[in-house]
Structure 1
Amino acid sequence: MRKVLWIILGCTIASIGVLILRHSHVVTGGTAGLSLSLSYALPLSFAVIFFLINIPFYLFSFFQMGWKFTATTIGSVSLLSLLTSLDHLLPSFTLPSLMGAVTGGLIAGLGLSILFMNGASLGGANILALFAQRKFGWDPGKVNFSFDFLVVLSSMYSIGFSKGIFSVMSIAITGFVISYFKQKIALHNQPTPASVTQPLDNAISK
């Protein structure tokens, strides 16, 4: 039950970061950003493209990360989608791009780190980042940034160069936050015996 509460907290924090980025008109990385870019060029809705793009990642996750991780990831993606859909209940507002990029990047990175430490992700490159850390010991923040950077580059044509720079700044900050917690993330995602695995709240408090 404690793990579920941490995942809900992580999704809530990440959704706040996403909303800040949206209201500052900064492009989000990951499969969400890629889906948004493709929706401008294809006769399909964002929701349909987002679902189709994530299918191969879910299949990869099921075979490489296990059904529990895949199930929690699907649940996390669904919860994030629900929370961000409540945006229409908020009053209309716009944030400066610089402030939004920094603040949104920090908050989104914290939310993702909490999810990673609890064996969950938000799909797409998040799955690849955790797999690369578990298999090869790679920094999940750098893997996540690399994928997001390619997504932002592909979006610069539609959002413009200046917004693209702020978007790169945002995903760099998100990647830095995830990298800061990489040791704690590794602790909870390495296949170690249960007897030597510390509780999550003890790891976070260190």
Structure 2
Amino acid sequence: MLQILKVLLGTFIVSIGILILKRSEIITGGTVGLSLSLSYWLGSSFSIMYCLVNIPFYVLSLFKMGWKFTVSTLFAVSSLSLMSAAAARLPEFVLPGWFGAAIGGSIMGLGMAYLFLNGSSLGGSNILALFFHKKFGWNPGKVMFVLDGLIIAGSFYSIGLFKGVYSVLSIVILSFIIHLFKSRFAAPAKAPARTPILPAAEAS
């Protein structure tokens, strides 16, 4: 029960960050950023796109990361989708791009760090980075950097150059927040039960 509450708290924090990014019309990295970009381009719901984008990664996670990690991630993704759908019903408002990048990226970083440190993730590229780390020993941070770069580059069509630059800023801030928390909680994270999630924290 405590683990469920921790995942819900983490996804709630992330959903606030996503709301700020969406109201600023910018994106971030990972499947969250890809889903935001597709929702802008297609004019569809972020929640629906997020669920669809993550489907292939559930299969990879189940076979390579284990059922416990997969179930926790599935619960986190589903919770985030529902919370984001609820937030979409709030009154419309627009925020400056720089504000969305700074505040949205920071809040998302806090939420994702909390999820990582509690044995969960938001699926997608996090799982892929973990897989490459376990399979080939690749640095998950570098893998995430390449994946995020591709997502941002592909999003320029839907959000434009200037908002693309703000999106890069959001990724830098998000990554810094996660790294900061990883360093701060390095000692607890070394416990045997949590060793599988260390690459995830480094990845994003």
1:98 maps onto 2:90 in alignment = no
Worse-superposed segment, 8-17 or 178-187: 178-187
User: What's the CA shift for 1:32?
Assistant: 3.4
Please state whether the residue corresponding to 2:28 is helix, strand or coil.
coil
User: What's the CA shift for 1:91?
Assistant: 2.4
2:187 and 2:30 map into 1 onto residues whose CA distance is 21
Cα gap change, 1:4/1:82 in structure 2, threshold over 3 Å: closer, same or farther?
Answer: same
Q: Work out the percentage of aligned pairs sharing the same amino acid.
A: 51
Please state whether the residue corresponding to 1:26 is helix, strand or coil.
coil
CA contact (8 A) 1:144 1:175 kept: no
Worse-superposed segment, 97-106 or 24-33: 24-33
Q: Which residue of 1 aligns with 2:5?
A: 5
1:176 and 1:143 map into 2 onto residues whose CA distance is 16
Larger radius of gyration: 1
CA contact (8 A) 1:105 1:171 kept: yes
Question: How high is the TM-score relative to the length of structure 1?
Answer: 0.79
Please state whether the residue corresponding to 1:63 is helix, strand or coil.
helix
User: What's the CA shift for 1:167?
Assistant: 0.4
Deviations 1:57-107 (CA, angstroms, capped at 9, x unpaired): 111111111101100111101100111111244222111110110000011
User: What's the CA shift for 1:34?
Assistant: 2.2
Cα gap change, 1:11/1:163 in structure 2, threshold over 3 Å: closer, same or farther?
Answer: same
Q: Which residue of 2 aligns with 1:166?
A: 166
Give the AA of the match of 1:90.
L
Pairs within 5 Å for 1:46-195:
50-131=50-131, 136=137, 138=139, 140=141, 143-183=143-183, 184=185, 188=189, 192=192
Give the AA of the match of 1:138.
N
1:129 and 1:185 map into 2 onto residues whose CA distance is 20
2:92 and 2:164 map into 1 onto residues whose CA distance is 23
Worse-superposed segment, 34-43 or 10-19: 34-43
Deviations 1:36-56 (CA, angstroms, capped at 9, x unpaired): 445677799766654443222
Q: Which residue of 2 aligns with 1:204?
A: none
Give the AA of the match of 1:60.
L
Worse-superposed segment, 28-37 or 154-163: 28-37
**Structure 2: tracts of 5 or more residues without a match:** 196-204
CA contact (8 A) 2:7 2:120 kept: yes
**Structure 1: tracts of 5 or more residues without a match:** 198-206
Give the AA of the match of 2:77.
V
1:34 maps onto 2:34 in alignment = yes
1:168 and 1:119 map into 2 onto residues whose CA distance is 27
Cα gap change, 1:186/1:38 in structure 2, threshold over 3 Å: closer, same or farther?
Answer: farther
User: What's the CA shift for 1:181?
Assistant: 2.7
Cα gap change, 1:50/1:6 in structure 2, threshold over 3 Å: closer, same or farther?
Answer: closer
Deviations 1:104-136 (CA, angstroms, capped at 9, x unpaired): 001101100111111111110122344456663
1:27 and 1:18 map into 2 onto residues whose CA distance is 8
CA contact (8 A) 2:12 2:83 kept: yes
1:158 and 1:35 map into 2 onto residues whose CA distance is 12
Question: How high is the TM-score relative to the length of structure 2?
Answer: 0.79
Cα gap change, 1:71/1:176 in structure 2, threshold over 3 Å: closer, same or farther?
Answer: same
Aligned residues: 193
